[in-house]
Amino acid sequence: MFKINRDLLSKNKYTALSIVASVGLLMLAFRKRKINPFESTYRRVAQEIQQKVLTARYVIQTELKLSNEDKTLILNSSIPQIHKFYESKKFTCLDVLLTFLEVSLEKGFKMGYLNDVNFEDAIQKARQLDQELKNTNYKIENMPLFGIPISVKDTFIVKGTYQAFGCGAYAQKRSEIDGIQGYLINKSGGIIFAKTNLPQFGFSYESWNYLFGRSIHPQDPQRTSGGSTGGEGGLLAVNGSPLGLGSDSGGSIRIPSHFCGLYGYKPSAKRLIMRGQAKGVPTWDGIRNIASCYGPMAKHFPNLVNMMQALTTNYEQAPINIKDINFVMKTFDEKECYNNNKKYKIGVLRKINLLLPCKANQRALDMAVEKLRAQGHTVIEFDIDQSIYENVFQHVYDVMLGDGGMKGTYELYKGEPWITHFDNFKKATQSCPLWKKIYQKWLKLQNRKRELMIWKAGDHGLSYYENLQITTRLTASQIQMIQIWHDLQLDAVISPVTAGVAVKHNTAQHCFSGICYTFFWNMIDFSCGSVPITTVQEDEQYYNEESLFGAKDIEYKVLEETMKHSAGLPVGIQVISKPLEDEVCLNIMRQCGQ
């Protein structure tokens, strides 16, 4: 047996201790270090994009001859105004594209908004549209997106681009076709020129990933532009694009719009065909408990209407391989979005007890109520039993974590490290069963109800029968809500978008209940949109609301930190209408934002 030489050890104890400590530190370093198999993919994609950027810069330098005044005019114009420029021959489609492209190249990559790009095809299409516009008989009124540069979220299938979800494993092959959204946008004269950033697989309301980096807030680099359509929100806010297309499973359009001061609209899920996006999870087509949809985002309200026109026109002519044989397109009536004669009855949902809204969000609601009443609408308080919100939000966690350990998510990453935003969910699903039970009891004793919701959902994988139960309960909640609206004779409801304003980096994962105001309506599939109303005032830079759902936990503390130094940040409200009543929702959004 090996014997330790005690004399030698005592004489060299400090050396021995140093060796042991060094070995321990090395073992710890290797244990902590996770090898990322996609580092070379990140470099390759960056080089590909850089080559496209150099080509685009050359075209801008040689062909964009507008004055700064003309560029500013274009950047601040809505789609109807840009179309008037085309009709009067003031600007060409190439002028408009290169003007927005110039801003995108200046700010889009630096601020983490742009992912993949489609510059060469976009420039070619702009030149083609200019040739068509020279024909005196050519009419653009039937093409709602004629000559309009458009950016879309990374998830949409666009010819010549990646649909990478911010993951190296999916940045291997560029798409050879357009999905249905790309097809409809092209048929309406739109020019898709860029793809925008999102969180890794879209699972957060802060947008960052290892492949394309982090999206920062346009006004404060210490904050996020939101998620999961956060790159889109930031790019639109800095005038890098006049119109964007995002997707929304729990607030992914409305939250970045609220954070960045934009209009953002999520139709009900059955209004638009859901094909055309890459699948975030292998079983995406089987998900029915979260009513995901896609929709437009913009600084100017009319741009939303034009995009909705484009997405609901020309569907029947689309190739069969990108359509859904079970989907029937409903006609969109854009005139109803501008109907000032119709008077509505609107409820005001001021709070959800899961997490109360900050003072700035409360004031924004009051301002919207005043505007609506001034335009002849009836506005009442919408104060119903809070248990419906709590029960539905618990199902959010049940569905997200219900595969018994986020197994499907693990399969997706193919060895790429996860961003830290999943740490809470990983702990709740992958801890040993005994520890889960002990920790749940401790959370209950501490009255930490919000965190307990996550741990209860991650307790075990859901059986087929349990999934059916959730679907049945969500359907019952939708029917219950529609009945409440019917009894009150409501056309719409307005509410906060989130509990706070743009959060600081790496805090979104600790404040998931703050987005209950958006996620709830996805779960019961109502139409809803975000409207910019005001900004945070100097005397609103604090959060000291009651905690009506458990103790003042980490989520509460995140909001306290969020509101510090927040003066001047955008504040919006949310407008909600019944399923498929999109024109009603958009019309009220317009009147709130006027």
133-140: list long-range contacts, CB under 8 Å, 24+ apart.
133/86, 133/92, 133/93, 140/83, 140/86, 140/87, 140/189
**Largest Cα–Cα distance of the chain, in whole Å?**
102
Q: Which two tokens stand for residue 193?
A: 């020129």
**8 A C-beta contact, residue 263 and residue 304:** yes
Among 218, 279, 217, 213, which Cα is nearest to 419's? 213
DSSP class of 156: B
Q: Which two tokens stand for residue 95?
A: 């002028």
List the catalytic residue out of 71, 107, 125, 153. Answer: 153
Q: Distance from CA of residue 133 to its chain's centroid? A: 35
DSSP class of 224: B
Q: Is 297 helix (H, G, I), strand (E, B) or coil?
A: strand
Residue 228 known to be catalytic: yes
**8 A C-beta contact, residue 81 and residue 87:** no
Torsion, CA 72, CA 73, CA 78, CA 82, rounded to 10:
-120
309: Cβ contacts below 8 Å, ≥ 6 apart: 144, 188, 332, 334
Q: Which residue in the block uniquely carries the two structure tokens 């980490």?
A: 554
Among 402, 404, 422, which Cα is nearest to 413's? 422
Residue 323 known to be catalytic: no
Q: Distance from CA of residue 28 to its chain's centroid? A: 37
* Number of C-beta neighbours around residue 23 at 10 A: 10
Q: 487 φ, ψ to 5°?
A: -65, -35
Among 335, 306, 336, 337, which Cα is nearest to 81's? 306
* Number of C-beta neighbours around residue 348 at 10 A: 18
Angle (nearest 5°) at CA 295 between 282 and 343: 140
List the catalytic residue out of 252, 268, 513, 577. Answer: 252
Rounded-to-integer distance, Cα 536 and Cα 554, Å? 23
List the catalytic residue out of 228, 247, 530, 566. Answer: 228
What DSSP assignment string belongs to 321-376? GGS-TT--PPPP-GGGGG-SS---EEEE----TTSPPPHHHHHHHHHHHHHHHHTT
**8 A C-beta contact, residue 303 and residue 78:** yes
Rounded-to-integer distance, Cα 452 and Cα 435, Å? 14
**8 A C-beta contact, residue 236 and residue 260:** yes
Task: Give the catalytic positions in this structure.
Answer: 153, 228, 252
